[in-house]
Homo-oligomer: A and B are copies of this chain.
């Protein structure tokens, strides 16, 4: 039935192997969940140097798991947290590269967690859905494990997927992947493949899968405005001394208009519009505020007033202040004029915006607005371009068919407002496309307290990968 690799050797037809592997997923679900809980107990927060050892432990856990699955696995040091690579070499005609990340977001504010973030538990979700609660349950430990558990199911079924597999896991996705460019420069050969697969995106709904065919890029910039050489008494100096918080507020206010547009000159110059058919398909989806914003306490789309909500979050660029601080932030009052104030800003970019150009334009925008006596310093935390899949790709069609068979409905082709910089690197450095297929739900609270993953997402996600791997063979 199929062409190459281990699958042919043991004589099982592809169809029979897939059936046995799907059964193995079902039979092994409790054991799979137990393994996920073990993974979730490792507090691998990559941004916090205090968790460096935990990141290493998570990498070791992943490598041991790959070895257990029969892959040749290696933990490769980088300038930051290590990379884990594991591969099969069955001689199959094609090779897929699966990417995931073992690091997780910080957990603050800790007091909003109902149970400790690194003590995973089962919970009850909406509409009676059973959930797994804990930091990383969805992003990305739960998601990446769906792929590894699919490989385990092939093995339990006595075979292997009809494609060779390279699993590539990093530990710095949540802090901008600073070590990846160096890793790619040194080790790109290890990652050569025909197609990349990523499981770090969401479903259209709890019953309808989706394939993400576009991603926004990202540019993160931190700007600090400095004024007086020290904090000043606001009574003695107030009125005459320049206050950096006021200056920063003025600049942030000027950068984003009341119409939701970013006011930085040139910001929209390279923005590519989505094809008319995509915009029409999106219009038919009729994503409204009731559905998208109400669950997070909002009701009115705040973006460009002449754009559909779905465009605002998927195909239009944004500027968001992720954090701001300056002066006295403790309890009560301290009557000072602070010497500086800082904003952490991220821009979401769409094709064909260039992060470097946007960074330059932002810096110029800030500097043009600095009053006398103020200076600004900038530090970057990486940038990546947006990504767009060719709608005519045969791999896309095969994966879509596999998902339809598992879920009973055709997957929705969506854009994602988020950014997965690695996808751009796969294109630029390995010359391959990426299919983004994930099983997260909008209410998974990724990056927030009480993050969860539906047990159904985990279970049927694993089954989906069995079907997709079989279909890509």
Interface residues of A, Cβ cutoff 8 Å to B: 47-48, 105-106, 108, 112, 175-176, 202, 216, 218, 220, 222, 227-243, 245-246, 248-250, 252-254, 256, 260, 289, 292-293, 296-304, 309, 312-313, 316, 318, 320-339, 341, 343-344, 346, 348, 371-373, 381, 416-419, 442, 445-449
Given the complex, which residues of B lie within 8 Å of A245, measured CB to CB? 252, 321, 323-324, 343
Given the complex, which residues of B lie within 8 Å of A252, measured CB to CB? 245-246, 249, 253
Given the complex, which residues of B lie within 8 Å of A343, measured CB to CB? 245
CB distance from A113 to the nearest CB of B (A): 12
Instruction: Please name 29 pairs of A and B residues whose Cβ atoms are closer than 8 Å in the assembled complex, sorted by A.
Output: A47-B330, A47-B333, A105-B334, A218-B235, A229-B297, A230-B445, A230-B449, A234-B320, A235-B417, A236-B417, A237-B313, A237-B417, A238-B346, A238-B417, A239-B304, A239-B316, A240-B302, A240-B312, A241-B293, A243-B302, A243-B320, A243-B321, A245-B343, A246-B321, A302-B371, A322-B336, A322-B338, A324-B327, A333-B381
Determine the main DSSP class of A at the interface with B: loop
CB distance from A135 to the nearest CB of B (A): 13
**CA gap between A312 and B234 in the complex, in Å:** 12
Provided the pairs A220-B335, A333-B176 are in contact, do residues A236 and B323 lie with their beta carbons within 8 angstroms?
no
Given the complex, which residues of B lie within 8 Å of A218, measured CB to CB? 235, 335
Q: Is the CB of A232 within 8 A of B337?
A: no
Given the complex, which residues of B lie within 8 Å of A231, measured CB to CB? 447-448
Given the complex, which residues of B lie within 8 Å of A249, measured CB to CB? 248-249, 252-253, 321, 324
Q: Which residue of B112, B241, B333, B447 is within 8 Å of A220 (Cβ)?
A: B333
**CA gap between A74 and B357 in the complex, in Å:** 68
Q: Which residue of B241, B254, B292, B322 is within 8 Å of A334 (Cβ)?
A: B322
Copies assembled: 2
Q: Which residue of B296, B372, B373 is within 8 Å of A237 (Cβ)?
A: B296
Known: A47-B331, A229-B297. 14 other contacts (CB 8 A): A230-B448, A234-B322, A237-B417, A238-B313, A239-B303, A239-B304, A239-B312, A239-B318, A240-B293, A248-B249, A249-B253, A323-B326, A325-B325, A333-B381
Q: Is the CB of B323 within 8 A of A328?
A: yes
Q: Which residue of B260, B313, B334, B445 is within 8 Å of A323 (Cβ)?
A: B334
Q: List the 7 closest pairs (A to B, CB-CB), nearest first.
A: A235-B418, A229-B297, A323-B327, A253-B253, A239-B312, A323-B328, A249-B252
Given the complex, which residues of B lie within 8 Å of A419, measured CB to CB? 235
Q: Is the CB of B333 within 8 A of A240?
A: no
CB distance from A443 to the nearest CB of B (A): 11
Q: Is the CB of A236 within 8 A of B416?
A: yes
Residue of A232, A254, A302, A419 with highest tally of chain B CB at under 10 A: A302
**CA gap between A300 and B243 in the complex, in Å:** 12
Q: Is the CB of A303 within 8 A of B240?
A: yes
Given the complex, which residues of B lie within 8 Å of A234, measured CB to CB? 318, 320, 322, 346, 348
